[in-house]
Structures are given as C-alpha cells and as structure tokens.
Amino acid sequence: MRASTLRVLPFLAWLPRLTRQNLRVDALAGLTVALVAIPQSLAYAQLAGLPPYYGLYAALVPTIIGALFGNSAQLSTGPVALTSLLTAASIAPLAAGGSEQYVTYAITVALLSGLFQLSFGVMRLGVLMNLLSHPVLMGFVNAAAILITLAQVPTLFGVPPPELGHALIDTWHVLSNPRGAHGHSMAFSAIAIVALVGFRRYAPRLPGVLITVAVLTTLSYAIDYSGYGGRIVGDIPRGLPTFALPQFSLDAWIALLPASFVIAVISFMEAMSSAKIAAIKTATKWDENQELIGQGLAKLAAALSQTMPVSGSFSRSALNLAAGARTGVSSIVAALCVLLTLLFFTPLLKYLPLPVLAAIIVMALTNLINLRSLRNAWRASRDDAIAALLTFAATIAFAPQIQNGIFVGVLVSLGLFIYRRMRPNMAVVEPASAQLVREAPEDMPQALQGAVGVIHFDASLVFVNVSYFESAVLQLERRYPDLRFVLVSGSGINDLDASGVEMLASLCDGLRKNGIGLLFSAVKPRVRSVFDRTGITEQIGAENFFLSDYAAFVALAGRVERPPEAPPPEAAG
C-alpha cells in the first residue's frame, strides 16, 4: 500500500492485523477502557465548567476520529483533566460558567486548537513541539494539578464555589468556614476517595471507577441524597449530540486564539507522552506529524459535535495498552459503549453525586503530579530547574489564566538557552602552563612553551557568542606580551556563520599586526568548507591549519627561532 494513501487514510494499515484473535482482544480492551472512560468523561466535563453529559459527547465521535486518523493504535482520545482545566481557565474570564455563551466558547476553543494541530501536522511541524522543554512542561503540569485539586475542594465539601478569583483564595475561604460544609457531600467524597484508593492498591484489574460510581449512585438514589441538599448530575439528554458548524465570532476567536494555541501544544504533549510509551512497548514506529493530524481532526470533530476539546488520555491509553489493544478498533469499541450509554442508560446517571465526580478528578491527578521531575531537573541543570520553578510559580500566580504560565516558561527556557549559547564552555590554556606542556611534544623548545596560547571552544561559532570568543583571545593577548601564536582547537566547533567569519577576519588582521599568528587544529570538514568559501583560509594561511593539536605543536616547534649556540671557550693563553 502506498505511503501517500496511508498518510491520508492511516487506518488502512490495520487491515493485515484484523484477525479474529486481534478483534477479540481489541473488543475486550475497548470495553475495559469504556468502563473507565464513561465516569471520567462526566467528571472532566464538570472540570471544564460544562454540564457532565458534554463529556459523553466528547468521548463519542472524537474518540473514533482520533483512532482512525492518528498514528498510535493504543492512544485513547477523549476528555482529559489537563485539557479540561485549560479550557475552563481560558473561558472563565469571558463568560459565566454553564451559560450558553460559555458552551459556545468551549466549542470555539475545540475548533481553534484543532485547526492549530491539524496545520502543524499537515506542514510536518511536529518537531516544533520540542520548543516546550520537559522541565517547563513538568513545572506547568504539577502546578495545574495542584490547582485542579484545589478547584474540587468546594464540590468535595458540598458548597458552591466562592469564585473569589483564585483557587488558593477560594480554597482557604472554604476551609476557614467549616460550618458551611454539607455533611452528606463530605461523606460521599470520603467514601469515593477511600474506595478508589482501595481499588487502585488492592484490585487494580477491576473497574474501580465504574464500581464506585455505580454503588454510590445507587446509594444516592436510596437515601434521596438530593433531597438533603446534595448536588447530583441530574437529567442527561438521551440521544446523540447535535452536529453543527461552530458559531463564528471574530471577537471571540481573537480573544481565544492564544489560549487555543496553548491547548493545542499542551494537549499534544500529553498525547505524545502516551503514544511514545506505547510505541516503545509495542516496538512500532511512531509518526508525530500523523498523530498531530489525528488529534487535530478529533478536536474538529468535537467542535462539530458541539462539545469540549479532547486529547489523548494518559491513564486510559495505559489501560488500553495493558489490555493488549492491537489496533484502533479498541477505541471504536469504547466509543460504541458510550453511544449505548447515551441511547439507553442515561437515566441511570441522574442521581450520581457531583462530589463523587470531584473525587474521581482528584484521584486522577495522582498520575499528573510528579515532583520528582523537578528535583531531577535541579540535579541535571540549574537552568532547567529555574525554568521549571518559574513556570510552576507563574502558573499558580496567574490562575485562573494558567496558560500564561506556559508562556513564561517557554520565554524563560529560550532565554536561558540563548544565554548558554552566548557563553558556551571554553577552556583557555595559557602560555607556559603545565597543561600546555603535557599536550605538546616532549622535546618542544623552551621558547615555544611561553609563546603559544590554546583555546578549546565547545560550541558553534555564531552570532550569539562571537564576542565572547573574541574577548577571550584579546584578553590572552593583553596578559602575555610574549605571545606569538594563538591555537584554536576546533574539534568542538560544529558550525560557523557570517558573524563568526567577520569576527575571525578582523581578529586575524589585528593579531597579525601585533606579530601574533592565528592557527586552527582539528577543524571539522563542514566548518573548513565555510573557511574555504569565504576566503578565511587564504587570509589565515592554509599552512596554519592542522589535523590535530599535536601536529600543530610539532609544526610550531620548527618555526621558533632557536637561540644561537654559544661559541666554544678560548684556550687559556
């Protein structure tokens, strides 16, 4: 089958694997994922500030589209916690939660973020996702996870969110007024958390989320929880979502464009981590650009389904992988289970307590929080740690507009990256030093030991660091008046741009006027070709280029004028 056909219709690659055995395994995996996806979808819609049933809509058509046009057979597309939080943070300043305008904005975010991802994939720009470094992403994810947890506190306590403007302030307001808490809601929250922890620890193979939801929903109905003032999911419209083009509003599109871009990047980073793990464990090739297309089309399908943005779920993808899914058929089976729920079983969800959904969200966050990654960043690189910590702090500070934390992190990490390139690792071996003597031949003339300075430059010589390199050479010249040669050990120089060429030309002329020769050793062929094309080789002199430091020292030994030998003493009168 042609590669161009598979790029447009990647699901055709499933055909050789659609055996009876694989279909049976995929069907079982899809059913397993659906048992988790249905209650999670309700919870994540609530997190996004939408009625819970919008989560079921997001787990239907977008899941199928993501499976058909993505690259990973195990990636489960649908509502996820981080994307839901970003959606809420993006829309909250613009519209009241739960209002018709709020829903319209959520659909618009799904459309715009999908267009971003689809464009990136079509233009093969998946490599741009690497601009978001792992420490910055972890700083943001950890901060977002904390904010998600805090946002659930009012629901866990059974009180309306105070909406004082910041999750920390809202949480403190709830905790400092314990008399306002709703006892039945707190009891349901506690039971749900204990049950979910118990299932995860002692019975991980069982659908703990579904069992917890089923039991507590039955209990809610039995004791008339809503009659005591408890908040429940309520009536869920039976049937399929309405399919329509999203409303166009230029002002709304402009206002939501930056947030949609952040959601496109962050949600794909989350999906990418799951897809990479699946590709490694299944020994299959992964195409990030094809996955961008699949995720973008899934978001567009969410917009046409009049629902919230979706992404690849880490937890459900891991479950899909553990269940042995071989093709995207497993995701299609999971979506069909959601379809059956929408058509026949929505009345069973009416009495589901909202505190139980909040508990599901809180428990799901344990897969997002990873403070160890921040510690590892500090151990690996102080710059990475600074970028991660500033991203973490900015995300907390800018809440609820947490997407600004990502902008801060990217700017800081890029700034530190440029700063490191401005002052790269450079070793200056000064004349007459012990290190110079060790590197030179044993029979090196004494005059040469005080006349050669060596510079080891471990970076491309480009516009951001040429002044740093030039300053080091000039400082060496000023400090040692007897300096006769500057040897640049070029084994670490991988590239040379126009700024570097101009600097070397000027530096060569200046040194020559002062009687100092500029030499190069171990220059890589790619860099040497730049020297040749720009005339720098001729200006410096081809005889001043050597294959190694040792060869340079040997050649220089012959250039040093040896002092004349003293005449023999005259015989005594």
Q: What is the pLDDT of residues 370-399, one digit of tens each?
A: 778 888 888 888 888 898 899 999 988 887
pLDDT exceeds cutoff 70 at 572? no
- Superfamily classification of domain 426-559: STAS domain (3.30.750.24)
What ranges do the domains of the chain cover? 16-414, 426-559
Q: Among 195-199, 479-483, 528-532, whose mean pLDDT is lowest?
A: 479-483
pLDDT exceeds cutoff 50 at 562? no
Backbone CA torsion sign across 37, 38, 43, 44 = positive
For the residues 267-287, what does the mean pLDDT come to? Answer: 83
DSSP assignments along 317-375, one per residue = HHHHHHTT--STHHHHHHHHHHHHIIIIIGGGGTT-BHHHHHHHHHHHGGGT--HHHHH
Question: 105: pLDDT confidence band, cut at 50, 70 and 90?
Answer: very high
Question: 339: pLDDT confidence band, cut at 50, 70 and 90?
Answer: very high
Q: Higher model confidence: residue 248 or residue 541?
A: 541
Q: Among 75-89, 113-127, 433-447, whose mean pLDDT is lowest?
A: 433-447
Highest mean pLDDT among 51-55, 369-373, 436-440: 51-55
Helix axes 81-91, 250-282, angle to 10 degrees: 170
Tell whether omega for the bond before 400 is within 30 degrees of 0, i.e. cis.
Answer: yes
pLDDT exceeds cutoff 60 at 542? yes
Query: Which among 97, 85, 89 has a CA at the least distance from the CA of 149?
Result: 85
- The SS3 assignment for 485 reads strand
In whole angstroms, what is the distance from residue 302 CA to residue 409 CA? 29
> Mean pLDDT score of the chain, rounded to an integer?
87
Is 136:413 a contact under the CB 8 Å cutoff? yes
pLDDT exceeds cutoff 80 at 561? no
Q: Tell me the sheet residues that pair with 545.
A: 520
Is 328:67 a contact under the CB 8 Å cutoff? yes
Query: For residue 53, what are the CA distances in angstroms to 236, 239, 557?
Result: 6, 11, 83
Task: Report the helix count and the strand count for the chain, using DSSP H and E.
Answer: 25, 7
Is 296:114 a contact under the CB 8 Å cutoff? yes
Q: What's the confidence (pLDDT) of residue 246?
A: 87
Q: Tell me the sheet residues that pair with 520.
A: 488, 545
pLDDT exceeds cutoff 90 at 340? yes
- The SS3 assignment for 195 reads helix
Q: What's the confidence (pLDDT) of residue 415?
A: 87
Backbone angles phi, psi at 246, to 5 degrees: -60, 150
Is 84:106 a contact under the CB 8 Å cutoff? no
Q: What's the confidence (pLDDT) of residue 270?
A: 82
Question: pTM value?
Answer: 0.76
Q: Higher model confidence: residue 300 or residue 85?
A: 300
Q: Tell me the sheet residues that pair with 461.
A: 496
